[in-house]
Homo-oligomer: A and B are copies of this chain.
Amino acid sequence: MQAAISVNAEGPEGLRFAEVASPHFGPDEIRVKVKATALNRADLLQTMGLYPAPAGVPSDIPGLEYAGEVIAVGSRVQRWKAGDRVMGLVGGGAWAEELVTHEREAIAVPAELSFADAAAIPEAFTTAFDALVLQGGMTLHSEVLIHAVASGVGSAALQLCHLFGARAIGTGRNEKKLARAAELGLTRSIVVKDGVFSARVKQFTEGRGCDLALDLVGGDWFAETIDAMAIKGTVMLVGLVAGASAEVPLRSVLAKRLRLLGTTLRARSLEEKITVARLFEQRVVPSFVSGQLEPVVDAVLPMAELEPALQRLAGNDTFGKLVLTW
């Protein structure tokens, strides 16, 4: 099979397409013909040698999400047969014509969705669903602060807020991208300059602050995020775009009895990943059929354009996902 191989930590320029052996699969696993994949910031880091693949996945083939067709199943597989349409997250190896995954990690793709649309779903929507709902406890009328609301995860979080009856406030640095988020129904947005936003969050919430924050930013923004929270609020720390360290006002954390949760999907155990995949299939996927949720796709490009697509991701002016098809 063909795969995009990352060599020598040279960044996107170091990627080469090569013929490699199809991966073996165990009795509980399925082999998937990848029809489409989507790009993530983590891929970019991995090509630069900054985010090594976990044990058990191809170390030299990046790619964290896919949509495709089942082409072979292990001897104990119960959920799938050849020809079924699936999507999902993998620890790596999605930038290849074929990949192998545990049968319970794969998620059924509804007939209404194209492979290109499906490939834009797993990472963004699973991350947002897990952080906001499963860990963050988002519920009806929760006030939710979404940093980088125009990002893949951010725009998924925005839609999940609406789906679950929560109230979103979105931030970003780019006015144009925030305008795109408005098309997805964002009515309360903050163009952040110099990392200042908590006073505006308090205005939006009549002084109370937010119950939940989806923080893709960290760094310089973190103390403001703490300040923007309501009593007993939860900060889900999902990304560190603004920096990997922060001066934190511990007195506010204590006095407001805040909950700060760090989270990442990739490093989890099989059982944790399966749990999220199954809940996601049950509770979230049907809303893509009903139209309440929509994959946010910036562009669909052929796999041969992987390198320029990665450069575009690095340039930070995409809205939604960059999808690549074989």
> Known contacts A246-B247, A246-B248, A247-B246; is A253 also within 8 Å of B262 by CB?
yes
With most chain B CB atoms within 10 A of its CB, the pick from A222, A244, A247, A264 is A244
Query: Does A254 lie within 8 Å of B250, measured CB to CB?
Result: no
Contact pattern, A 194-235, Cβ under 8 Å of B = 1, otherwise 0? 000000000000000000000000110010000000000000
Query: Does B254 lie within 8 Å of A240, measured CB to CB?
Result: yes
**Chain B residues whose CB sits within 8 angstroms of the CB of A262 once the complex forms:** 250, 252-259
Copies in the complex: 2
Q: In the assembled complex, how far is the CB of residue A127 from the closest CB belonging to chain B, in whole angstroms?
A: 12
- Residue tally, chain A, CB below 8 Å to B: 30
Tell me the interface secondary structure of chain A in the complex. Answer: mixed
**Chain B residues whose CB sits within 8 angstroms of the CB of A261 once the complex forms:** 257-260
A251 within 8 A of B: yes
Interface residues of A (CB under 8 A from B): 218-219, 222, 237-240, 243-264, 267
A selection of 28 A-B contacts at a CB cut-off of 8 Å is: A218-B250, A219-B250, A222-B250, A237-B253, A238-B254, A240-B250, A240-B251, A240-B254, A244-B249, A244-B250, A245-B249, A245-B251, A246-B247, A246-B248, A246-B250, A247-B247, A254-B264, A255-B262, A255-B267, A256-B262, A257-B262, A257-B264, A258-B261, A259-B259, A259-B260, A259-B261, A259-B262, A260-B261
